[in-house]
Amino acid sequence: MTSTDILYFIITRKPEHPGHINAGRICYIREHRHRLELKISPSPTKVPVFLMDSKSAIDYKIEVSSMEPLSVEEAELLQALPEDAERLKWFRERDALKTAMGLTVGTVVTVDEGGEKLRGIIRYIGKLTQPSYFCPISGRFFGIELQGEDRRKGKCDGTFQYTTRFSCAKDCGIFAPFSRVRPLVPSSLSPSVPNSSSQPETEELTTGDRVTYFISNECRHGMVVCVQEKDGKQVVRISTDTDENGKRGGEVDVPLEFVAKGEVPAEPESMDVDAPPVEPDTDDLYMDLTVNSVVEVTLATGNSYGIIRWIGFLPGGKETMAGLELEEDNGVSNGTFKGERFFDCPPKRALFVKLKSCRPDSRFQSTSANHSERMLKQEDAEDETDCITGKLETVPPISTEQVNQILIGRMKGIQGHCNSCYMDAALFSLFSCSSVLDSMLFKSTQPQDAPIQRTLLHNIVNPLRSKGYVEGRHIMKLRQQLEKHGYSHSFTTDEKDPEEFLTVIMHHILALDPLLKLSADGKVQESYCYQIFLDQNHSLVLPTVQQLLEHSFHTAGLKLAEVPSCLILQMPRFGKKFKMFDKIIPSLELDITDLLSEGPQQCMLCGNLAQLECTDCFTDPLFSQTGFKIFCGKCSSQVHSHPQRQSHRPAALDIPKGYLGRGTHALIRDKLELFAVLCIETSHYVSFIKYGPNSQDWIFFDSMADREGETDGFNIPEVHTCPEVGKYLEMSPAELANQVPREMKGVAKRLFCDAYMYLYQSTSMCLYR
């Protein structure tokens, strides 16, 4: 369950009970629980909420009048503040929150550090720690690279607790909450310190001051000539370092509100490049450019020619860049950028530009270049023709017999690149050996989303199944398409959760019908994934997935409205720091018969048609390790004749007409089979695939198995068999509980101890079997 399935609040008035809760505390309630509360009372005076950062799973009923709702973004920003009183103070400064939500990577800001205002550029926005089980979101911080005279006044190099969030020189980085960060260009929404009126809005400018000014969202520098009034407004005349055309010298008049005293240096070793005009739907024409490609770029002085010597991401950058060795001395270095060497060339010959700004050298664009372009255009044309005629190529998933031949080895699977492991593991799990969700590859979709569907089918799924390998550039193409569609500004750079990616693809892009339909109090809720939650009174120690699902459904009062074709289960853990269980035993089959809201069910004791369900028996030690507590009339009478159970109140089940009086031979158990498991350890996702009928038929996939194998930013993926998993699955629970994780053979520890998401399928609904 993602943070968007949760409603967040801030407590604005200290409640009378319990007395330990302060105003300013952030709390939350699951959305489905909130709906249930509203069904009970349309206008409740109190709502049961969980406290953020609590060390227990106890909810507290807080008066609605004592809370204010928060968006997820507001909750993340406020959660970064350490004290409740400080959160409340800044919550009431609404403009500050609004401004903070508008800050983006690359914004020039000042940051308060030890009473001093330091100038810098935002290089990172996001969490520093993983959410925990009791705190489903983490605080949103701003990573800032200090500039100019303030360099070396920081505390880090962009690394926090051994994880690199951005790259900068030593002691040039600072992580700060929004309350300490202000845009350098003042605006009506810029945050001010609450309850303080003594702080000046701007610094006084005098002739000769060095300043930073902004024109057309570009940062430039110069010296103040004078400050004068023009048409009733304060205007600063500036002697420019370079004008809008890149020429040195000249003067320009700039409104005072777009001028800041002091100088924030521009990137020292990059140059403005005019991107060549491109036709629609040709975003990926540069994708066949590689190291040693001969290219040209358009600069302010005209076209320049050179050879690509390096491709990757520059420190703090989020776009794919190319390091060029130019033919003439039009560059800015000898292959270094900010003191770090990326390749070697003569001085003044190196230039770093966006890869998409490069195009094949037109002077030599004969057979090779024209052929490449024709092939790309032909491929796009074929894709469009296939969509029109309905002739989409179909490659079946890899069968049990083909796994060793097609899928096993180095440079197999999906190639990882730049925090893509969440996407690599999810796509590999869904499509390598299963066809349960192949319908999403062929269903009709909106014209603007068709390129994403074609990329998914032609560039990812089909090569994976036919060759056993997908190049990292195809995954990057998909990420670029998702980012271009506006679903996230950081799909090409940041790590994300698999469920976030799957929801975007299945729901927002391809409009796939929800995989899961849950019944609660006679109403149906729809979802694509299910997050398992347990109450604090559970008695499970070494649970199976079957037990976790049953306990979670019982706790939430849920049933399945229908048999799902694919069931995606998220384990009761958050991030890498909190796991509710040291080990979880995979259930190779998931029996969902007793979880269905409709249809006949069997008595758990004798197997005859069940007529009664007893929720009171769920916590009974005798039944705690078994499924839902349903009985036939005879067995229910025997069970509840015990003195400790005479107070139980069994409820009658809805039995379809025509089933009364039938024996067990008329009942069919509904089961789902396990086909994949996603695991996470230290923010890195891998996957296990159950590809055959035997207990040892498992393979393990890591898209970044060798992170040092290549130098262009891409990694070497690997797929290998892991029959050792079968040995542990055959152990008794007692034997498995005694296994020391670090001593488990092969990669078995990853499966049993690091499981994040289980994927089950209905065998009757797969396209290929």
Supply the residues annotated as catalytic.
Answer: 421, 684
Residue with tokens 């205002």: 117
Question: Are the C-beta atoms of 420 and 472 separated by less than 8 Å?
Answer: yes
- Closest listed residue to residue 263, CA positions, set 204, 211, 203: 211
Q: Rounded distance, CA 504 to CA 641, Å?
A: 52
Instruction: Specify whether the CB–CB gap between 214 and 185 falls below 8 A.
Output: yes
Residue count of the chain? 769
Cα–Cα distance for residue pair 206/208, rounded to 1 Å: 6
Residue 48 burial (10 A CB sphere; 0-12, 13-18, 19+): middle
**Are residues 179 and 96 in contact, defined by beta-carbon separation less than 8 angstroms?**
yes
Contact by Cβ (8 Å): 333, 326: no
Question: For residue 714, what are the β-bridge partners?
Answer: 417
Report which residue type is found at 632: C
Structure tokens given for 701: 């996939």
Beta carbons within 8 Å of 71's beta carbon, 6+ residues apart: 8
DSSP per-residue codes, 391-413? -----PPPPTTTHHHHT-EET-E
Helices and strands, number each (H, E), in the chain: 17, 43
Calpha distance 265→245 (Å, rounded): 18
CA dist 202 and 177 (Å) reads 22
Dihedral sign (CA 108, 109, 114, 116): positive
Task: With beta carbons less than 8 A apart as the criterion, state whether 582 and 753 touch.
Answer: yes
Q: Is 688 exposed, middle or buried (0-12, 13-18, 19+ CB in 10 A)?
A: buried
- 139 in Cβ contact with 177 (< 8 Å): yes
Q: Alpha carbon of 269 to those of 265, 297, 330, 345, 611: distances in Å?
A: 11, 16, 12, 15, 76
Angle between helices 84-91 and 72-79 (to 10 degrees): 140
CB 652 within 8 A of CB 672: no
Residues 679/710, Cβ–Cβ less than 8 Å? no
Taking the CB of residue 603, how many other CB atoms lie within 10 A of it? 19
List the one residue out of 436, 462, 440 whose CA is nearest residue 382: 462
> Which has the closest alpha carbon to 273: 396, 358, 374, 397?
358
SS3 label, residue 642: coil
Question: Which pairs count as long-range contacts for 199-202, CB under 8 Å and 24+ apart, including other chains?
Answer: 202/256, 202/257, 202/260
Using omega within 30 degrees of 0 as the cis cutoff, is the peptide bond preceding 18 cis? yes
Quote the tokens at residue 251. 């003067």
Query: Using an 8 Å Cβ cutoff, are 224 and 206 in contact?
Result: yes
Alpha helices, DSSP H only, in 232-330?
Answer: none
Q: Is 10 helix (H, G, I), strand (E, B) or coil?
A: strand
